[in-house]
C-alpha cells in the first residue's frame, strides 16, 4: 500500500462519516478493511498510532457525537 492509497482510503471513510445520515455499517466495514490492508501489505510511512486510533474508534464516534468532532 502506498501513502496515497492510505490517504485515499481514509478520505473515503471520512466522507462516509460526514454524510447525512451516516452509514455506520459501511464506516465500520471500511475501517476493518483498511486495517486488514495495512496488516497484509508493506506499510507506507505514516503516524501509526493516529491512524489506528482513528480506525479503531469508529464505534466510539458513533456513540458520542462530541468525541466524533474532536
Cα 69 to its chain centre, rounded Å, is 14
Q: How far apart are CA 9 and CA 5, in angstroms?
A: 6
- Sequential DSSP letters for 16-30: HHHSSS--HHHHHHH
Domain spans of the chain? 3-69
Helices then strands (H, E): number in the chain? 5, 0
Q: How far apart are CA 63 and CA 40, in angstroms?
A: 29
- Mean pLDDT in each 10-residue stretch from start to end of the chain (70 residues)? 94 95 96 94 85 92 70
Amino acid at each position: 500500500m502506498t501513502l496515497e492509497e492510505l490517504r485515499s482510503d481514509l478520505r473515503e471513510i471520512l466522507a462516509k462519516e460526514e454524510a447525512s445520515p451516516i452509514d455506520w455499517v459501511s464506516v465500520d466495514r471500511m475501517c476493518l478493511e483498511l486495517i486488514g490492508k495495512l496488516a497484509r501489505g508493506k506499510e507506507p510511512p505514516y503516524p501509526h498510532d493516529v491512524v489506528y486510533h482513528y480506525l479503531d474508534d469508529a464505534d466510539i464516534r458513533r456513540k458520542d457525537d462530541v468525541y466524533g468532532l474532536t
